[in-house]
A = this chain, B = another copy of it.
Amino acid sequence: MSIRIEKAESLKQKPESKKIPFGQVFTDHMFVMDYEEGQGWYDPRIVPYAPITLDPAAMIFHYGQTVFEGLKAYRTKDGGTLLFRPDKNMQRLNKSNRRMSIPEIDEEEVLGYIKQLVEIEKDWVPEFEGTSLYIRPFIISTEPNLAVAPSKTYKLMVILSPVGPYFAGGMKPVRIKVEDEFTRAVKGGTGAAKTAGNYSAAYRAQANAKQEGHADVLWLDGVEKRYIEEVGSMNIFFKIDGKVVTPALSGSILEGVTRMSVLELLKDWDIPVEERKISVAELYQYYEEGKLEEAFGAGTAAVISPVGRLDWLGNTMTINDEEVGPLAKRLYDEITGIQLGEREDTKGWSVNV
């Protein structure tokens, strides 16, 4: 589809240091495309970043029919701009669309629009170490109708936000609480989709955890409350007695792009890895036996986030003396190296803008 471009009349001031608060600064332009039943997706356009106007009865406000994605553009040393496996985000967006009864998008086409938007905003990709331009595609249901049913109209938007390093003073292990009261998702629910409701549903548990000094919660499965699922916005990995274990996709876990990349690298490196059900009780047993060598989260925000301590119903697992473990470090260096174009990209993960 041919795209309409309307340039902003005046440009905003770009952040000058790498201390950019996450998700609060936005670039000069955004991408918008509309959907109407019968017509399909239409009018793709890049326009000045501006508020949107919706009827108070727009379905998004009432029934939460919406999906989103999150990926990043990285500045290379030679001034280029790279995206990391953006095709995977487009695939996941459509997977979320199917779960939420939202019309699918043409993945290649939308990726093309995102590249065009990033190209126009390329001066917004910050160049300090650890910084990037966060890309947030999202689709909202816009029909003004209080009937509880899928919307007949939608809006797909892409906004861009420069972000500072996830770890201000270098990678630092975090403390995580195993959540035993609240549930994030359950089999048959929306946990495997990237949809708004999953995130606010987590706030109560996260607030409790923060009060106790934890960075986030580790969710358990909603059925038995025994099996480990994921952390707030990260999938979780454990290194146990030389092997890496991560929860298998259960239908209620979001399949992370970072997770799949970690799995592929581990296979390349001949490190044994198991995708399977793992209960906290099992993990704790390994801990007591001295076999829990490392734990780390994997997600777009931090890439790799080592877990230094896990608290579970009064039991504390201190992992690798709350230091960054060698495997977490190796994965972080390799993935960020590829993202920044500094390490050889043998798998075609990086996409030039």
Interface residues of A (CB under 8 A from B): 21-24, 26, 30, 49, 51-57, 60-66, 68, 99-101, 134, 136, 138, 140-141, 144-150, 157, 159, 161, 181-190, 195-204, 206-207, 222-225, 232-233
Closest CB of chain B to A208's CB: distance in Å? 11
Contact of A197 among B61, B144, B198, B224 (CB under 8 A): B198
User: A23 touching B222 by the CB < 8 A rule?
Assistant: no
Chain B residues with CB under 8 Å of A203's CB are 65, 100-101, 149-150
Interface of A, secondary structure class, is loop
User: B64 touching A204 by the CB < 8 A rule?
Assistant: no
Q: How far is A140 from B111 in the complex, measured between Cα atoms in Å?
A: 30
Which residue from chain B places its CB closest to the CB of A52 in the assembled complex?
B56
Closest CB of chain B to A152's CB: distance in Å? 11
User: A233 touching B197 by the CB < 8 A rule?
Assistant: no
Chain B residues with CB under 8 Å of A225's CB are 188
User: B190 touching A197 by the CB < 8 A rule?
Assistant: yes
Closest CB of chain B to A74's CB: distance in Å? 18
Max chain B C-beta neighbours (<10 A), residue from A22, A146, A181, A224: A146
Max chain B C-beta neighbours (<10 A), residue from A52, A140, A182, A224: A52
Chain B residues with CB under 8 Å of A140's CB are 61
Q: How far is A30 from B57 in the complex, measured between Cα atoms in Å?
A: 11
Chain B residues with CB under 8 Å of A181's CB are 188
Q: How far is A23 from B55 in the complex, measured between Cα atoms in Å?
A: 12
Chain B residues with CB under 8 Å of A204's CB are 99-101
Chain B residues with CB under 8 Å of A207's CB are 101, 150
